[in-house]
Structure 1
Amino acid sequence: MERIAESIMLSWGIKRMLLAFAAGALAVLALPPFNFFAVLFISFPVLVWLLDGASGSAERGLLGRMRPAFATGWWFGFGYFVAGLWWLGNALLVDANGFAWALPLAVLGLPAILALFYGVAAAVAWLLWSDGIGRIAALGAAFGLIEWARSFVLTGFPWNAIGYAAMPAPLMMQSVELVGIFGMSALTVFVFSAPALVGTKRGAVAGILAALVLFSAHVGYGWFALNRLDRTEVAPSGATIRIVQPDIDQSAKWDTAERERIFSRLLAFSAVPPREGEIRPTHIIWPETALPFLLTENPGALSRIADMLQVGQTLVTGAVRFEDGAGGTRQRFYNSIYVIDDEGQIIGAADKMHLVPFGEYLPFEAMLRRFGLTPVAETFGGFSAADRRGMLTLPGGLGAVPLICYEAIFPDLSRVPEGRASLLLNLTNDAWYGMTPGPYQHLRQAQLRAVETRLPLIRAANNGISAVVDAGGRIIGSLPLGEAGVFDVVLPSRSDQFLLIRIRQFNFGLIIAIMVVMAIFARKSKKQRFD
């Protein structure tokens, strides 16, 4: 291994770039749908060895010396995000005539921008670089902080944070309750970088031992937490949930000629009798923007919904909500959730707060529209964001935290705004991305929100993957990607064993502080040895 490490450290030019790119791309195999997390034991040691050899000329000043480390991290990140997000280009092919020109921007441009974060992480870690365990602590701290920054810089896009790669199954998801996804990202980099110490000898015993202890604690806590959940007696929710997955092709979704067929399909699936011996569903869930029209333009729709619902049943559906302009202001459209009772009355609503840039709205809209740019979801001229976040109250005394589409990837948005909720409600439409890894990655990130909050997750997706997830992140009912149908599940109960988000934030800060102290101590020790 020493010879491999030396060869990688001494690589230069195109070979160095390709090694970093390949190491980042390989790491994607740890993510859904592959879940082969062991590849990280290759990707991160390669990154460490590349950074060992990343030293700039002292004559160029601090930034000049940091440049090779930044470039190494950028190429690693570019490989990771190209291999992990290429499927975003599929959304542009739904309306290829209007958006195919932007395909390179989605497949290469966005990864190039996101790779800047990993470039900064590598450069910051290099400032505290040493030749032992301290350097993997520096790398872990830098990645933890940069993944946290990805959650809010430029509106935030923390998709596929490194920590998700270490959580392929519920047994390995429970630690996120303690440290959050950003803490898991720091620990993931530390643990999976440890084999690099074998290739350079110094600190190998301590580093490998620390990694083994952390990995064992990770798995051990998973076993403990799941057993604790199973032993804890909680009052049953009393609700039976029906998820409707209509599998509507995205190109047909807003076709006026298809409206009646789509609406009738949703009503027919919702009215399917339960299987013999099973309880009639109390709550029927349709996916994001399931209604193929504005309710205000189709006054008979609510009556048809009321006719479909039986006494005591409730429909929860994604829809576009229209708000007429007042006092000269422009009309507004919201990506919303409606709660409709068995009399066809709207008894609750929630609007999406965190919109997708360039998908649901245009940043710097006035300027960019002059250049002919429009949001990808341009059907209604772009959406407006909700002013505030609140819970939905569903019949049966259920408090639901609404997470529309990719809001589920933001841990802060799943916090309960008013008291303790009963469930997380994620309505989404991943049909934009076809039969690609995207929907699998999206589901995994939503699963982790259930573990963090210890709330069950109800997820309705247009073409999949719809699922009901318990408070331990275990899927207890689902429909696969690309399949139309329904399934009924008794709503799992929430757990009263949960940590407040501020405790996770404190633990994350503590992990970063410990790693930084380790890195500083190792850096000083190295200087003393060479002075």
Structure 2
Amino acid sequence: EWLRSWLLTGFPWLYLGNAHIDTWLSGWAPVTGVYGLSFIVAATAALMFQCLKKPFSQWRWGHYVAILLILSTWSAGLTLQSMNWSHAYGEPLQVTLVQPNISQHIKWRPEQQPITLKLLESTSAQHQDSDIIVWPENAIPLFAHQATRYLNRLNILGEESHTTFISGIPYWQPETRNNPRKLHNSVITFGDGTDSIYHKQKLVPFGEYVPFQHLLRGLIQFFDLPMSDFGPGPKNQQPLRIKKDGYSILIAPYICYEIVYPDFVRHLAKSSDFLLTISDDSWFGSSIGPHQHLEMARMRALENQRYLIRGTNTGITAIVDQSGRTLDQAEQFQQTSLTGQVRLMSGLTPFTRWGSTPILLLCLIFLIVSCSRRSRQ
């Protein structure tokens, strides 16, 4: 699973550990991360297999130790669920997540753009009592420099209502002497004067960029998808910074499937008050994909013990607490919005501090011991 997270750009989907977000093992997530849960599941299966290979009457002391180890590990997970590695501070924030439910087939058409912009603005105007209003990935179907007048109007709305807007938007970075031109999949803040920006780093192959595009583009129509020429953002980016009552609030932003990378998420989570992920899962249609995506986002909230808000185009839009529980979610494939409260969290879990390094070292030790035993045999 670890190799799959980075080999050939990585695709860390469907880990064994993700299936245990709602079981006793979830208590281990803030300690070991999702790889630790996968390790425990694999070890449990291996030990049980070794025990069941022989009739109970032929068991030796090692078989009893294996069963005891399984029971104690799972029981420890239940105990760890009550551990609070982080704590809430300050007043809760009221957030509204707008779910526009716009089909990919019409999203980028010029005639659809004013309809989309009006929908976002009118829906948001109904929630001016919220501290933060979130629009999904690439919600604004214009480049940032093309949407200046629109953003200025919303800046005024945000200043009047003391509301911060956060939205996904394509961002065009013109060519300079030191940097080539780039198109970024980005998220921006506006309305409170902070104007923070984050450029997506983990791009989806063939969806957002085409590997070896000088060879593949034009060869097959599939490789000419709209908006599939994005470039990755720099690696040293900081959390989004917004203002509330004179204080700065730091938000760790993740766009689309960036949220499924455990160690990538923890780096920004270290210095953030809560997590934000925006996505457009309409590509999945009515498949199980959006449900899996939400499940993995819940795991990130639990690993770092931070609240997480998830704004999407077609669903599943949700608010998740620091224990990975879904507090509320919007109905999928509906033009709607979701309003709830988010707590600011402080403190670091063992996983946030050290990441997957301890569990990977443990795996390495097991591999070395296993190989040495085989060589002796």
* TM-score normalised according to structure 1 size: 0.63
Name 1:317's counterpart in structure 2. Answer: 167
C-alpha separation between the residues in 2 aligned to 1:349 and 1:314?
13
- The within-5 A match list for 1:134-149 is 147-149=1-3
User: Is 2:66 the counterpart of 1:210?
Assistant: yes
1:472-495 superposed Cα distances (whole Å, 9 cap, x missing partner): 111112213222211222212325
Name 2:29's counterpart in structure 1. Answer: 176
C-alpha separation between the residues in 1 aligned to 2:75 and 2:126?
41
Name 2:311's counterpart in structure 1. Answer: 460
Amino acid at match of 2:295: R
Shift of 1:199: 4.9
1:243 touches 1:486 (CA, 8 Å); kept in 2? Answer: yes
C-alpha separation between the residues in 1 aligned to 2:178 and 2:358?
49
Shift of 1:149: 0.7
Amino acid at match of 1:384: G
Shift of 1:326: 3.4
- The within-5 A match list for 1:43-54 is none
Give the secondary structure class of the aligned counterpart of 2:90. Answer: coil
1:70-121 superposed Cα distances (whole Å, 9 cap, x missing partner): xxxxxxxxxxxxxxxxxxxxxxxxxxxxxxxxxxxxxxxxxxxxxxxxxxxx
User: Is 2:185 the counterpart of 1:359?
Assistant: no
C-alpha separation between the residues in 2 aligned to 1:369 and 1:455?
41
Which structure has the larger Rg over C-alpha atoms? Answer: 1
User: Is 2:116 the counterpart of 1:265?
Assistant: no
Mark the CA change 1:519 to 1:384 in structure 2 (over 3 Å): closer, same or farther: same
Give the secondary structure class of the aligned counterpart of 1:347. Answer: coil
Name 1:101's counterpart in structure 2. Answer: none
User: Is 2:53 the counterpart of 1:200?
Assistant: yes
**Superposition CA RMSD, Å:** 2.9
1:30-89 superposed Cα distances (whole Å, 9 cap, x missing partner): xxxxxxxxxxxxxxxxxxxxxxxxxxxxxxxxxxxxxxxxxxxxxxxxxxxxxxxxxxxx
1:443-484 superposed Cα distances (whole Å, 9 cap, x missing partner): 111111111112211111111111111111111122132222
C-alpha separation between the residues in 1 aligned to 2:355 and 2:194?
37
2:31 touches 2:349 (CA, 8 Å); kept in 1? Answer: no
C-alpha separation between the residues in 2 aligned to 1:418 and 1:158?
19
Amino acid at match of 1:228: M
Q: Which has the higher contact order (CA 8 A, sep 6+)?
A: 2
- The within-5 A match list for 1:373-384 is 375=223, 377-379=225-227, 382-384=229-231
Give the secondary structure class of the aligned counterpart of 1:471. Answer: coil
- The within-5 A match list for 1:129-528 is 147-165=1-19, 167-169=20-22, 171-197=24-50, 199-201=52-54, 206=62, 210=66, 213-214=69-70, 216-221=72-77, 223-229=78-84, 234-273=88-127, 280-309=129-158, 310-326=160-176, 331-342=181-192, 347-369=195-217, 371-372=219-220, 375=223, 377-379=225-227, 382-388=229-235, 389-396=237-244, 397-417=248-268, 420-496=271-347, 498-501=349-352, 503-513=354-364, 515-516=366-367, 519=370, 523=374, 527=377
Q: Could you tell me which runs of 5 or more consecutive residues in structure 2 were left unpaired when the two chains were aligned.
A: none
More helix by percentage: 1
C-alpha separation between the residues in 2 aligned to 1:515 and 1:312?
55
Give the secondary structure class of the aligned counterpart of 1:234. Answer: strand
1:191 touches 1:215 (CA, 8 Å); kept in 2? Answer: no
C-alpha separation between the residues in 1 aligned to 2:242 and 2:17?
33
Mark the CA change 1:382 to 1:168 in structure 2 (over 3 Å): closer, same or farther: same
Give the secondary structure class of the aligned counterpart of 2:2. Answer: helix
Mark the CA change 1:265 to 1:208 in structure 2 (over 3 Å): closer, same or farther: farther
C-alpha separation between the residues in 2 aligned to 1:419 and 1:164?
21
1:369-412 superposed Cα distances (whole Å, 9 cap, x missing partner): 25346646423x51011122321112232111111100011112
Q: Identity over the aligned pairs, expressed in percent?
A: 25
* TM-score normalised according to structure 2 size: 0.87
1:362 touches 1:374 (CA, 8 Å); kept in 2? Answer: no
How many matched pairs?
A: 369
C-alpha separation between the residues in 1 aligned to 2:33 and 2:59?
28
Amino acid at match of 1:382: D
More strand by percentage: 2
Q: Could you tell me which runs of 5 or more consecutive residues in structure 1 were left unpaired when the two chains were aligned.
A: 1-146, 275-279
1:455 touches 1:471 (CA, 8 Å); kept in 2? Answer: yes
Shift of 1:334: 0.5
Mark the CA change 1:418 to 1:449 in structure 2 (over 3 Å): closer, same or farther: closer
